[in-house]
Structure 1
């Protein structure tokens, strides 16, 4: 199964869960179930956007006529869209969770509300099974694909499954206390579990948001910068060049490298084929050659061209 195939299945499953959540939330009177439905709906929208960006990136790397027209119009590719989508996704999910937390606090301060536990328990149990199945499917698939989009989607399914499991446990507890002297607790079960779930959910996308932000800002990854510098330094020492300048970034699945070598003035002339052979040698030493590697190698005697 491809990345796009999994995302399509994920969107369909998420829309079903979202619709069930909203309907069952209304029927049971549960804010937490309704929140789960709205959260799933937001996640489905973001997954749809991720699918669109993923398909653009794949199409731009193909060699057919339609892909050629896309490349002619967007010559720098679509890699930059990937971290933007990931950051937007993470921020949206955190915003939804913060809003739900505020509503939960207001409900608790207002004395809670009555809940139809039977309907709520049915929804929670079904949702736990669906979320667990999608998370397992995504984890197995991503062992080979290593997609950031699938990775984020797996986290979303795990988060949704965690929410549903917490709701299921809380609703079972609420149902158990109804016939006891502690029946007043039942009115607080729904907003209390919603608040706790939100407190857990809010920080979860922070790592994804931070990684996406570093890519949007084109911050140089330390490991990639060190690797390129080692390769370039070896070339400088071996061929008697003066120095080098390396500019690197990771943007989504793309690795962007611009490498400039400062050569001595009056260096004996080389043929274009010899310079190209040297570029091939340097590119092979850097590694990871694929459609997602953007590599520029230049030679100049004027250091200002490399700054």
Structure 2
């Protein structure tokens, strides 16, 4: 059920973002505003990323197969890495484009077109951002969470555009039309700088997952539980490995039992597994837990 809601939200987001992209590109072309055009191309790239996210969500919902025996969880951080990289590149482009615009003497834009568009765009982007954030309170999807960052960025872009265009209108009204020409490239510089933080917010966790860096908190939690269980059940030693790919958490634990450990039957080992599993938290479809037992240390070295 949750995956179905996730896919519906991603489909809505993709269609609406594509509509925003087309509207921004058309408005930017006829008004002569590079910042509006930039917003349109940002939205267009965001649409492509959302399509990738939707495909990823659909694959994750499928069962594993012989080729992908652990499922498709690894695709999630890869898509987020692509999104974060595009955001960072777009931010760099916006900054450089704005700098060149100022060096070249600014640019005139048709304010009667861009002000109503920026107003409407602000309402749409902020409205959809808060709607999705509310929906994700119970869904708790990382795909939806990071996807919604693009709506927040677009909303902030729209507010920045609207404020700057109103400033340009005031400058023209008071006879400072020359200075008004620098508003559009100045917006691009500010937008580029403001997008770096959201890009890094997506890139950092995605890059950790793709590179296979151990999630510190998960590793500490597993070790804490196993230290307690080791004392409680009289284990000689253990070794644990953890990994994270998107929402999927992989936990592997190998336990060394004393040679004279009392085992009436195999059910005793299953009971130990149940105890460890319960202490690690509620079992979820996103958690892959493997627990093995041995009496020879060579199997954990």
Match of 1:171 in 2: 165
For the pair 1:3 / 2:6, whether they are aligned, the reply is yes
Give the aligned partner of residue 119 of structure 2.
125
Counterparts of 2:243 and 2:98, CA distance in 1:
42
Matching residue within 110, 135, 156 for 2:129: 135
Partner in structure 2 of residue 17 of structure 1: 20
The 3-state SS of whatever aligns with 1:247 is: strand
SS in 1 for 2:85: helix
In 1, Cα distance between equivalents of 2:201 and 2:90: 17
Give the unaligned 5+ runs of structure 1.
61-69
Shift of 1:267: 3.5
Task: Please name the residue that 1:234 is paired with.
Answer: 228
Moved more, 197-206 or 36-45: 197-206
User: 1:63 — aligned with what?
Assistant: none
**Shift of residue 296 of structure 1?**
0.3
Contact 2:238-2:254 at 8 Å conserved across structures: yes
Task: Compute the displacement of 1:210 (Å).
Answer: 0.8
Residue 277 of structure 1, CA deviation: 2.0
Q: State the partner residue of 2:155.
A: 161
In the alignment, which of 249, 257, 262 is matched to residue 256 of structure 2? 262
Q: 1:279 maps to what in 2?
A: 273
Matches within 5 A, 1:95-106: 95-106=89-100
229-238 vs 137-146, which moves further: 229-238
Of 23, 27, 34, which aligns to 2:30?
Answer: 27
State the partner residue of 1:184.
178
Give the match's secondary structure for 2:244. Answer: strand
Counterpart residue number, 1:64: none
With normalisation by structure 2, the TM-score equals 0.95
Shift of 1:208: 1.9
1:97 offset after TM fit, Å? Answer: 1.5
Moved more, 282-291 or 7-16: 282-291
**Residue ranges of structure 2 left out of the alignment (5+ in a row):** none
- Native 8 Å contact 2:94 2:191 kept in 1: no
Tell me how far 1:37 sits from its aligned partner.
0.3
1:279-298 matches, cutoff 5 A? 279-298=273-292
Give the SS at the match of 1:299. Answer: strand
Asked whether 1:58 is paired with 2:52, we answer: no
Q: What is the aligned-residue RMSD (CA, Å)?
A: 1.5
With 258-267 and 114-123 compared, the bigger mean Cα shift is at: 258-267
The runs of 4+ residues in structure 1 deviating greater than 4 Å are none
Q: Deviations over 1:82-122 (max 9, x none)?
A: 11111110111110111121111111100011110111112
**In structure 2, C-alpha distance between the alignment counterparts of 1:75 and 1:111, rounded to whole Å:** 59
Residue 165 of structure 1 and its aligned partner are, at CA, apart by 0.8
Kept in 1, the 8 Å contact 2:35–2:161? The answer is yes
SS at 1:178 equivalent: helix
C-alpha deviation, 1:269, in angstroms: 4.5
Distance 1:137 1:181 in 2: 42
Correspondence for 1:74 among 34, 56, 68: 68
Partner of 1:249: 243
Aligned to 1:66: none
